Copies of this chain bind each other. A is one copy, B any other.
């Protein structure tokens, strides 16, 4: 049971977490904190949070669980603001898509990596953002990755695990480096491709006409290009090394495909498409959605 949960950043993820925990009845009070009063008022009107605090320091006072759900670029300033006010027994966790950068933000913001800070990342989301897009079932049957460090208190890890399990998520643990590599491959690289494709087409002369002939495949392929630009800007720069490695690998593979098309290399193309279809069909079966 969480007595007072403080969520800093009540958007799609923070709002959905609040809804899910309320639905699971594992939370007595939810304090919402953010920079935009209008958005917090909306969250309160929607019943997502009980109380509004604009100051992060005031928001964490008396909280036994603090979830920082702000873009990666805002982590450090939030940590700095809450550091003097967060209780010694409170557990702190985040939901950032790149974990190594959060360690740096914590060391600078808190002056150290607190034992009570558990790095976490729910593998769930949609291309929409804001509390109005949040819903209680967002994390059901999805994975949440925790990347505790050696100095992280096990009791804190268990409390964060319990919280996420109450939302219906499956909690796993792995190293920070492994998390950042996997996310660069399955999430950060695809977002770069979708953003680039849409922009490449938009900058072609006849772009309005081009988009008017796009079909359902294009709509699905580019859905993630509607994601929040600031959030993705922060992710790019926060997971820079892992993302660069994946970009280089992909650019090399796409260059090979380009050569195969140029050389009419029928066997290469057919083998590549067959192998990819098999892998994708296998994934779709596992994902069951």
**Partner-B contacts on A (CB < 8 A):** 123-127, 142-143, 145, 182-183, 185-187, 189-202, 204, 206-207, 209-230, 232-233, 236-237, 240, 243-244, 247-251, 253-255, 257-258, 261-262, 264, 266, 269-270, 272-277, 279-284, 286-287, 289
Flag if A287 contacts B233 (CB, 8 Å).
no
C-alpha gap A92/B30 in the complex (Å):
67
Flag if A214 contacts B283 (CB, 8 Å).
yes
Flag if A217 contacts B251 (CB, 8 Å).
no
- The residues of B that contact A250 with a CB separation of less than 8 Å are 196-197, 200, 254
C-alpha gap A287/B214 in the complex (Å):
8
A213-B261 contact, Cβ under 8 Å, with A192-B254, A270-B233, A280-B198: no
Shortest C-beta distance, A206 to chain B (Å), equals: 8
Shortest C-beta distance, A194 to chain B (Å), equals: 6
Flag if A249 contacts B194 (CB, 8 Å).
no
* Residue among A213, A226, A255 facing the most chain B CB atoms (10 A cut-off): A213
Residue of B nearest to A281 (CB): B226
C-alpha gap A230/B247 in the complex (Å):
28
A258-B251 contact, Cβ under 8 Å, with A209-B182, A279-B199: yes
A266-B281 contact, Cβ under 8 Å, with A195-B272, A275-B202: no
Flag if B200 contacts A186 (CB, 8 Å).
no
- The residues of B that contact A230 with a CB separation of less than 8 Å are 270
A202-B240 contact, Cβ under 8 Å, with A210-B186, A212-B286, A213-B145: no
Flag if A223 contacts B221 (CB, 8 Å).
yes
Q: 9 closest Cβ contacts across the A-B interface?
A: A229-B273, A202-B279, A186-B214, A225-B280, A198-B276, A195-B276, A199-B276, A220-B220, A211-B283
- The residues of B that contact A280 with a CB separation of less than 8 Å are 194, 198, 222-223, 225-226
A sample of 19 inter-chain contacts (CB < 8 A) reads: A123-B215, A124-B215, A124-B216, A127-B217, A185-B204, A191-B217, A193-B197, A197-B250, A198-B280, A198-B283, A211-B279, A214-B287, A219-B289, A220-B220, A222-B283, A229-B270, A232-B269, A236-B269, A240-B264
- The residues of B that contact A216 with a CB separation of less than 8 Å are 124-126, 289
Shortest C-beta distance, A230 to chain B (Å), equals: 7
